[in-house]
Structure 1
Amino acid sequence: MERIIEQTADGSATLFVPELDEHYHSVKGARTESQHIFIDMGLKASEASEPRILEIGFGTGLNALLTLEAAEATGKKIHYTGIELYPLPWETVDALKYSDHPLFKTLHTTPWEEDVIITPNFTLKKVQADARTSEEGKGNCYDLIYFDAFAPDKQPEMWSQELFDQLYVILHTGGILTTYCAKGTVRRMLQSAGFIVERLPGPPGGKREILRARKP
């Protein structure tokens, strides 16, 4: 698929996919959105002392980068698994200029399908697979899920009751799922899976609301 670099409102860049008429991140602010939804409303709300995180849609690696930065700032040990069916080449990601830190390149160039210790506080496992059929979650339990698939009207197969049911099972009790999508249909599917769902304010200048779901 063709991917075009576009600037967003906070000065950070994103990728636009003409075939899907969709962006990888919010045009209102790529970094601002990711920081708010997944770090501020997700990681900071987790009660796990050494959280295991699952990201649905590794994409540009921005969410992983922000989580790595948080791990280094807090000293919290994090194990991070990213599932991505269509990995981006480093050259494409590098052009976005998210970070000059050499560890950002390391996130993208480490081997797939194995645990890689990036720093003493951050271990990464990248899995090239379809999240709907991946065996990765079976036998594992997570404390936090970043649900960052393309929008429901662009990638409807990723926003299914079956998938949310699966994700509920692999979360620890008290575990959290965060997503940028606040559609009523998505909220009801999460509730049907068993989650307690909150509508939270969206990122500054961006979406009005986001969702955070917790396994009771």
Structure 2
Amino acid sequence: MQRIIEQTEDGSATLYVPELNEHYHSVKGARTESQHIFIDMGLKASAAPCPHILEAGFGTGLNALLTLQEAERTGRPVRYTGIELYPLAWTEVEALHYSDDPRLRLLHEAPWEEEVCLTPTFRLLKLRRDLTSWQADDERPPLRCDVVYFDAFAPEKQPALWTPAVFRNLYRCLTPGGILTTYCAKGAVRRLMQDIGFRMERLPGPPGGKREILRATKPNDVPENMPELYR
């Protein structure tokens, strides 16, 4: 797919995909959006002392970089797993000029299918998978996480990524009390996740951007007699 660099309102850049008529980040501010939705409303809201984060859509690596920087700032160690079927080349990411931090390049040049320690507080595993068919239990060992960054393209652009099957898999993947954050606040998405078993919150969106975002929490008290699919 063709990708075009566009500037956003906070001065940071994003990629535009003409084929989908879709941007990788909000045109109101790429960095502002990622910081608010995934770091402030996701990582910081997790009570896990050493959170394992799963990102659905590794993309430009901006979410991973901000997470790495937050882990370094606080000293709170993070394991980070990114799932991406169509990885970006480093040359595409470099042209965005997101950061002078040399670790952004390390994130992209790290090997796939191999967990690596990039800093004393950040471990990275990149999986080249199709989220529509991927199952957390098929990994060895089965993948379990405390936080999900759900950063897929919008439901009207890629509806196959916003289905009950995908969110059931993520629900199963999350530890009790685990959370999922996403920029999408559509009622249909909120009801879908609620029907699966998530406790849903509508939160204020990023400054100057979307009015609301969603945060979903897997209950701590999932009944033992619930179907295995939902545990």
Matched, 1:174 2:165: no
Q: CA deviation digits over 1:46-92, x for unaligned, max 9?
A: 00000000000000000000000000000011000000000000000
How far apart are the structure 1 equivalents of 2:82 and 2:99?
A: 19
Structure-1 residue corresponding to 2:12: 12
How far apart are the structure 2 equivalents of 1:57 and 1:137?
A: 19
Structure-1 residue corresponding to 2:168: 165
Structure-1 residue corresponding to 2:62: 62
Matched residue SS, 2:98: coil
Structure-1 residue corresponding to 2:229: none
In structure 1, give the amino acid aligned to 2:169: Q
Please say if residues 116 and 125 of structure 2, whose CA atoms lie closer than 8 Å, have aligned partners that are also in contact: yes
RMSD between aligned residues: 0.8
Structure-2 residue corresponding to 1:148: 151
Q: TM-score, normalised by structure 2?
A: 0.92
Matched residue SS, 1:96: coil
Matched, 1:206 2:219: no
- In structure 2, the gaps of 5 or more residues are 220-231
How far apart are the structure 1 equivalents of 2:54 and 2:164?
A: 18
Structure-1 residue corresponding to 2:25: 25
Identity %: 67
How far apart are the structure 1 equivalents of 2:58 and 2:144?
A: 18
How far apart are the structure 1 equivalents of 2:95 and 2:137?
A: 32
Matched, 1:195 2:208: no
Q: Which has the larger radius of gyration?
A: 2
How far apart are the structure 2 equivalents of 1:213 and 1:52?
A: 16
Please say if residues 204 and 213 of structure 2, whose CA atoms lie closer than 8 Å, have aligned partners that are also in contact: yes
Q: CA deviation digits over 1:150-202, x for unaligned, max 9?
A: 00000000000111111101100000000000000100111011000000000
Matched residue SS, 2:60: coil
In structure 2, give the amino acid aligned to 1:129: R
- In structure 1, the gaps of 5 or more residues are none
Matched residue SS, 1:86: coil
Matched residue SS, 2:143: coil
Q: TM-score, normalised by structure 1?
A: 0.98
Matched residue SS, 1:144: strand
Matched residue SS, 1:99: coil
